[in-house]
Amino acid sequence: MFDDEKTRKLSIICSKGSLDMAYPGLVLANAALMEGIDVTVFFTFWGLDMINKRKMNNLKFVPIGNPSMPIPNAVGGLPGMTNVATAVMKREISKLDFPEVEEFLEMISDAGGKLYACKMSVDMFEDMHLMNENDIYDRVEGVVGATDFMEMSEDAQIIFI
């Protein structure tokens, strides 16, 4: 006699809002959903930029401080280099036929993935006038605290990005 198979669960914490850090979480969430895995994505700190309607499709790739970049930091820090690096990264993402951040989030939501914003980070960013709850992407199901996220993530594999 076989036990009922437990549903696999994956919780992804997105804590960074740069273009190069947005895609790993989105790709993993999408892949997991395609495999039938329940997915919850929690956006905290700068990861809120990924679900900020004003910023989500304008994320930047900053080359300075990245040891994997094939250019010296002195060059990466020159005026305009972030825009150049962002344009190159977006071109390469487009070549791979990956959607922009907003469309990716829509796909994840449509496939049953759950999207949540971190309450503490939203409150902090509101106090700093960086965003408010009206800026949060419509597909985000709620603004929740860390303890709520821990409840949602019970028995899930957790990935922190």
| All structural domains of the chain with their residue ranges | 1-57+100-161, 59-98
pLDDT given at position 5: 64
CATH of 1-57+100-161, one of 3.40.630.30, 3.40.1260.10, 2.60.120.260, 1.10.3090.10: 3.40.1260.10
pLDDT digits (tens, 9 = 90+) for 108-153: 999 999 999 999 999 999 888 889 889 999 999 999 999 999 999 9
- pTM of the entire structure? 0.88
Closest CA to 143 of 116, 113, 106, 115: 116
With 0-12 / 13-18 / 19 or more C-beta atoms within 10 angstroms meaning exposed / middle / buried, residue 144 is buried
Residue 1: pLDDT over 50: no
Residue 70: pLDDT over 60: yes
CA 60: distance to chain centroid?
Answer: 13
Confidence class of residue 79 from pLDDT cuts 50, 70 and 90?
A: confident
Closest CA to 25 of 8, 13, 37: 13
Question: Hey, how many other C-beta atoms are within 10 angstroms of the C-beta on 36?
Answer: 9
